[in-house]
Structures are given as C-alpha cells and as structure tokens.
Amino acid sequence: MALLPILRFPDPRLHTVARPVAAVDDRVRQLVDDMLQTMYEAEGVGLAATQVDVHERVVVMDTSEKHDQPVVLINPEIVRRSAEMAINEEGCLSVPETWDRVERHARVTVSALGRDGHALLLHCRTQRYEHVPLDRERFEVLVMDTKKPRPLAKTGFNERVHECADALAILRSKLRPEPCLAEYRIDDLVAIERVLTGKHMMRARHVVTEMQRVREAVRCLRANEISGFGKALDASHESTRVDYEVSCPELDVITDAARGCPEVFGARLVGAGFGGCAIALVAPGAAPSVQEQVARKFHERFAVTPGFSVLHAGPGPRECVG
C-alpha cells in the first residue's frame, strides 16, 4: 500500500465529475487499499477517489472507534428517504482543520449494488455479480440474534482461513492448480483423500459442497422452489457445524427451534459463526408466531431472550441517519 497525495481546496480538480468504475480489477483493488491507508494516516473517517486525483466513483469510510471496520463503496448512489433536514458538523480531508455546520437530508440510503426485491449473487474471484429475485409473497427472512458475543470469531475464523490455504496447497501439488478451493469438485477431494485428511479435508469439503449449495439455492429461487431453498439453508448450516466447525450451542439451538416450526422452510447461521445471528426462511406473515416459539425454547435453554427482525431486500445496504 502507498500513501496518496490529497488534493487541497480550492484545487479545481476537486470539481471533476467522477466516472463510474467499469470493473473491479487489480488496479481498483490497489486503489482501495491505498485510499484506506491514506485515510487512516490522515486520521479521517472518509475519502473519495476524486480527493486523491483519481476521478472514479470510489469512496472509502471507517467511522468505528478503533478504525477497524472499513467500508468500501463502488459506484454508490444516494437516495433521499425523507424531506426532513438535519444540521451536521462536518469536515473534509481536502479542507484540513476546517469544520462547518451543514444542512443535509436526515435520512438517506447509500446504495452500491443492491436492487429492491433481489439477493446479490457475488462471484468473488471474478467480481461479477447477478441479481436473484426474492419473492416476498412466498417467504420472509427472519433474523434471529442469539445475543452471544463473538470474542473467538476473529481468531477462529483466521484459523479456518489458514487451514483452507493449506488444503488448497495440497490440492494444487497433488492434483492440479486452481485459483481457489471453490474451483474444485467433490470428486477431486475423493481422488486424493489419502493425503487430504483431517481438518484439511473437512475445510475443503465445506467450501466445495457450499458452492454446490449456492448453485442449488439460486436455481430454487429462480424457479420459486422455496422448500428446496430451505433445504439448502439447512444443509449449509450442517456443513458449517460439522465440517467448518464455526457453529456453537446457541446457534444450533436457535436454528433447531426454528426448524421445529411448521411455518419455517429452513435455517442457518450467518456471518463468522461462534455466536451472533442466524436466519430462518418463514412463510409470509408467520414471523411473530415463529419468534414466540423460538424465543421460548431458546430462553428455556440459555435464560436469554433472543432478538428478532424481518429482513427486507431493498435497493441499498445502508441507511444513514443524521
């Protein structure tokens, strides 16, 4: 990473209209890394590419206290959510040591790739993406919060990353070179099971079979086969529990409780595991009933009342409130 020079007001280049990013390639990824490094070094909370004389629609932000939760926006769009205005005290790295009180809309959505009523299928290796329809009339997504903190998530997940890297190295040396584990098939794992063993086999098997489940889930969503989508969620949770080993008793209990409800099609943990949240695919309008049943069973086991919310697929991933 490299530090980039920040343009200072009134440099006329700051008024250049940024063009959309055509593709997220190595050049853009390097730009993002350099922008983050520059922003942190300058002790800022946000930086646009135009401010470093790269006139493309790229913005980096990090408003966390420890500066460890960076957000990257590629081709963002800002949509006003209300006519209400609010006064904010704002500054800018291009105008150092200067703050002003600025009136802006109090509620906006910052949208990058989201589309209303759709899930985002992201191909991480190629940076391609597709929008997959989510039929609100067929199901709802219920988020279930175990309220369990995840102090082990960072360490545990890093261990999984290293184990996957080791498994990939074995597959490349004993079978054939591929850019990532997701490019292999289950037959490949079977072919070298004498050398791909233990944790390495488990981690590789989770990744390879998870790719199969993603493809099946997408097929089910496009075909409106909601029960099949639910089965893919169930199988995914089982794989994260057995082969990837990132579940925990709280996540297992909350998903099992959800599956015990007749209105639920399937459930799985989300995020890094080790605690946090899970989701359940529920029949439209059934969320209150499912919440009541799941909360009762979860409280009986852990003496904790879980949190719930219904997820809606909207046009943007982030609502900013002034």
The tens digit of pLDDT for each residue in 152-165 reads 656 688 899 899 99
Q: Are residues 106 and 125 in the same domain?
A: no
124 pLDDT more than 90: no
pLDDT in tens, 168-183: 999 999 999 999 999 9
Q: Are residues 126 and 101 in the same domain?
A: no
Alpha-carbon distance of 51 to 7, in angstroms, equals: 5
Domain containing residue 306: CATH number: 3.30.70.890
Q: Are residues 99 and 177 in the same domain?
A: no
Final residue of a domain: which of 111, 128, 163? 111
Instruction: Supply the pLDDT for residue 110.
Output: 56
Domain containing residue 56: CATH number: 3.90.45.10
Q: Are residues 239 and 216 in the same domain?
A: yes
277 pLDDT more than 60: yes
In a domain, 292, yes or no: yes
Q: Are residues 97 and 129 in the same domain?
A: no
Q: HSE (CB half, 13 Å, CA atoms) of 304?
A: 14
Q: Which domain holds residue 31?
A: 12-111
Q: Are residues 18 and 97 in the same domain?
A: yes
Higher per-residue confidence, 314 vs 232:
232
The number of domains in the chain is: 2
Q: Are residues 290 and 229 in the same domain?
A: yes
Q: Are residues 58 and 134 in the same domain?
A: no
In a domain, 165, yes or no: yes
In a domain, 164, yes or no: yes
- Say if CB 41 and CB 3 are below 8 A apart: yes
Contacts with 206 (C-beta within 8 Å, 6 or more apart), sequence order:
239, 240, 243, 244
Contacts with 198 (C-beta within 8 Å, 6 or more apart), sequence order:
none
Q: Which of 5-19, 83-97, 175-189 has the lowest mean pLDDT?
A: 83-97
Edge-to-edge order in the sheet of strand 77-80 = 77-80, 107-111, 318-321
Tell me which residue has tokens 């290796």.
125
In a domain, 158, yes or no: yes
Instruction: Supply the pLDDT for residue 100.
Output: 64
Q: Are residues 17 and 160 in the same domain?
A: no
Q: Are residues 167 and 292 in the same domain?
A: yes
In a domain, 4, yes or no: no
321 pLDDT more than 50: no
Q: Are residues 102 and 127 in the same domain?
A: no
Final residue of a domain: which of 111, 144, 165? 111
171 closest CA partner among 123, 208, 140: 208
DSSP 149: -
